[in-house]
Amino acid sequence: MQEGMIAENNQIRIRKTREGDIPFVLSQETHPDNARFVGQWEKQQHRAALQDPDCGHWILEAKTTGKPAGYMILRGLQNSHGSVEFMRIVISEKKKGLGRETLRLVKQVVFEQFRAHRLWLDVRDYNVRAQNLYLSEGFVKEGVLRECQKKEDRYSSLIVMSMLEQEWHKRIQAL
What is residue 124's three-state secondary structure? strand
Which tens digits make up the pLDDT trace of 119-175?
A: 999 999 999 999 999 999 999 999 999 999 988 889 999 999 999 999 999 998 887
Cα(89)–Cα(158) distance, rounded to whole angstroms?
Answer: 15
> Would you put residue 95 in left (φ > 0), alpha (ψ -120 to 50) or beta?
left
Each domain of the chain, given as residue ranges in start order, spans: 5-174
How many alpha carbons lie under 13 Å from residue 149 in its C-beta half-sphere?
A: 16
pLDDT of residue 1: 52
pLDDT of residue 2: 65
User: Model pTM?
Assistant: 0.92
Averaged pLDDT of the chain: 94
CATH placement of domain 5-174: 3.40.630.30
DSSP readout, 67-119? Answer: SEEEEEEEE-TT-TT-EEEEEEEEESS-SSSHHHHHHHHHHHIIIIIS--SEE
- Close Cβ partners of 48 (under 8 Å, ≥ 6 residues apart): none
